[in-house]
Structure 1
Amino acid sequence: MDVQRLLIFREIARTKSIGGAARSLGWTQPAVSQHLRHLERQAGTPLVLRRPRGVQLTEAGQALLRHADAIAARMQAATEELEALVHLRAGTVRLAAFPSAGATLVPAAMSLLAQRHPHLDVRLREAEPPQALGLLAVGDVDIALTFTHAGERPVDTDEIERIPIGEDPLRLVLPRSHPCAQPSAIPLDLRELAQDKWTGGCERCTDHLRQACEAAGFTPDIRHGTDDYVLTQALIARGLAVGLLPQLALDAARDPGVAVRPAAGVRPRVVYLLHHREADQIPAVRSAVQALADIAARASQGDHGGSSPATVPGINLVG
């Protein structure tokens, strides 16, 4: 049965007349009568008895009215739920982020989003970029926060929107006892560390470290491998290695036993927000993307808004 005709029939029953329903709906009386006749043909039986002072529901009409009332209630509930989602009084955003961004950018963005839209439900999953892209592709998350190293081509598809939001500088991390550990804003040449033992990170980060060192003229002696930046710094602080860590990781947790120097000739990695192209029409997703971009912009300007560096990191804005 046509839902619109059911709701017209419900209005006839409520006003107890075809004319009353027409006035309530803003229609003509013949139009309401025509819809009622179509509905009765579909039902296969009269739904109302026409009386001089209005209409009286038949037994079939009374039965149908109960269903029409239920449909009207569900449609009203659907309208209210959709309005809540559109006006951000409700909604869920699922986010995947690589660990150092998850410890820095994301909490600040979630806090900002909670201030703007306190009823949104934001859910975070930690995932390295390849895994985050896979979660996004199959619809398990709405937004993926990823990065690419310099010279690494992003995986582009027609379905995914890729938004660069910042550059995350890579820093040389040394034991405080290292001869090159003295504080200096002058970038340190990787060749100064050619004889040191190194610790690598995730597979992609280790590949980038190896490429950067080979570009500087040597092959690094990589003795350790961990994507845990706390463990990486613990190894370095005890003089067991040197390493190359992103600024976000150092903002998230800084071991007092390490020294940090800029790295000469090492370009930053680029941080991206990814979502399905049509998802920017979803208010909750659009608002979450805006909050993450705003935090990245605020961080690039050195505006921590009273937050600690671990909350709003110091990255460089892209674009």
Structure 2
Amino acid sequence: MFDENRLRVFAAIAREGSVTGAAAALHYAQPTVSHHLARLEAEAGVPLVRRVGRGIRLTEAGRLLADRAEEILGRIDSARVELAAHAGLGAGRVRLASFPSALATLVPAAAAAFAAAHPDVELALTEAEPPEALAALRRGEVDVALAFHHGDGPPAGREGHTATPLLHEPVYVVSRAGDPYTGPRADLATHRDRRWIAGCERCRAHLLAACAERGFSPSIAFETDDHVAAQALVAAGLGVTTLPGLALRAHRNPDVRVDRLPEVRRRVEAVVYGAPPAPAPVDAFLKVLADTAGRPLRWP
């Protein structure tokens, strides 16, 4: 329905916040950008922007189209690369977005094995927490997103995605080494009267739910997504926290104690957009990644 070039112009307008900014970003003349915008609005049949001072503001329809435009254009670009590889014009590529603890543990081994088996395929890695990685996946900016969740089933918003389970990661309560509050076997409830250090939004929500199941609400004194910083705070006696196994494999502070929480797991998955089969380079990487994750791991 919509011309690809006009979608690219509109996506640039949405990103830059003005016709002038979009023209500069695309190296177009400003009248050309205005012309494409007018034609796109005519095709859409509704206003897409409102002029506000020297800039523009997207209408509700404009915001919807801008979100879809990024996704559509990402898919088009990915399809071109895949078709070029299939036609022998290129060797293909795989772009992976991974949360930090997996990027520091699972990904290097998988990337090395993949590079050895497929030296002509370009592999690009970027760090992103699951919400950002999945958003990039929907926009076509990456081909694979490593994500995690604590529930029994996949979280909401995964329609149109295919997930490959990689591992069930143990979760630990982390306290200061030699802390008198801990006994032979510590659980969350052991530290019910302590101050807590919370992690990312999803980890915080899981901590609150797990503590509620044990009859208390944790007093959260600090918040950090940095697993190294969280352990340093614990080692300094400023609180206790929970951390997943991959985070402790990536870095283990010698001045903390870890106690595995029975029956608590974090599910790690590799997610791609669309139904299988994935493009050949992506499918090959998923197999290497699953093989790497399936090897026995020594948890703390």
| TM-score band, normalised by shorter chain | 0.5 to 0.7
1:115–1:179 distance in 2 versus 1, CA, 3 Å: same
- Confirm or deny: 8 A CA contact 1:97 1:145 kept in the other structure: yes
Matches within 5 A, 1:203-222: 203-222=201-220
Cα distance in 1 for residues equivalent to 2:255 and 2:299: 21
1:190 equivalenced with 2:191 (yes/no): no
Question: What is the deviation of 1:90?
Answer: 2.1
Question: What is the deviation of 1:177?
Answer: 2.8
1:296 equivalenced with 2:300 (yes/no): no
Q: 1:129 matched to which residue of 2? A: 130
- Confirm or deny: 8 A CA contact 1:146 1:271 kept in the other structure: yes
Cα distance in 2 for residues equivalent to 1:181 and 1:208: 22
Cα distance in 1 for residues equivalent to 2:107 and 2:137: 17
Q: Which runs of 5+ in 2 are unaligned?
A: 1-82
Write out per-residue CA displacement over residues 218-241 of structure 1, whole angstroms, 9 at most, x where no aligned residue.
Answer: 110110000000000000011111
Write out per-residue CA displacement over residues 53-108 of structure 1, whole angstroms, 9 at most, x where no aligned residue.
Answer: xxxxxxxxxxxxxxxxxxxxxxxxxx9953547xxx82211001111111111111
Cα distance in 2 for residues equivalent to 1:80 and 1:220: 54
Question: What is the deviation of 1:158?
Answer: 4.4
Name the Cα RMSD after superposition.
Answer: 2.4
Of 234, 244, 247 in structure 1, the residue corresponding to residue 245 of structure 2 is 247
Q: Calculate the TM-score normalised by the size of structure 1.
A: 0.63
Would you say how many aligned residue pairs link Structure 1 and Structure 2? 219
Q: Runs of at least 4 residues of structure 1 off by over 6 A? A: none
- Confirm or deny: 8 A CA contact 1:279 1:285 kept in the other structure: no
Cα distance in 2 for residues equivalent to 1:172 and 1:200: 12
Counterpart code for 1:163: T
Q: 2:161 matched to which residue of 1? A: 160
Q: Secondary structure at the match of 2:291?
A: helix
Cα distance in 2 for residues equivalent to 1:224 and 1:206: 11
1:123–1:181 distance in 2 versus 1, CA, 3 Å: farther
Q: Secondary structure at the match of 2:145?
A: strand
Q: Which runs of 5+ in 1 are unaligned?
A: 1-78, 303-312
1:130–1:84 distance in 2 versus 1, CA, 3 Å: same
- Confirm or deny: 8 A CA contact 1:181 1:261 kept in the other structure: no
Q: 1:140 matched to which residue of 2? A: 141
Q: Secondary structure at the match of 1:207?
A: helix
Q: Secondary structure at the match of 1:290?
A: helix
Q: Secondary structure at the match of 1:280?
A: coil
- Confirm or deny: 8 A CA contact 2:173 2:187 kept in the other structure: no
Cα distance in 1 for residues equivalent to 2:92 and 2:218: 48
Question: What is the deviation of 1:110?
Answer: 0.2
Question: What is the deviation of 1:114?
Answer: 1.1
% identity of equivalent residues? 40
Q: 1:282 matched to which residue of 2? A: 279
Matches within 5 A, 1:169-180: 169-180=170-181
- Confirm or deny: 8 A CA contact 1:150 1:267 kept in the other structure: no
1:226–1:158 distance in 2 versus 1, CA, 3 Å: closer
Question: What is the deviation of 1:263?
Answer: 1.8
Counterpart code for 2:187: D
Write out per-residue CA displacement over residues 258-281 of structure 1, whole angstroms, 9 at most, x where no aligned residue.
Answer: 1111124x5201011110235634
Give the number of the structure whose alpha-carbon radius of gyration is greater. Answer: 1
1:82 equivalenced with 2:79 (yes/no): no
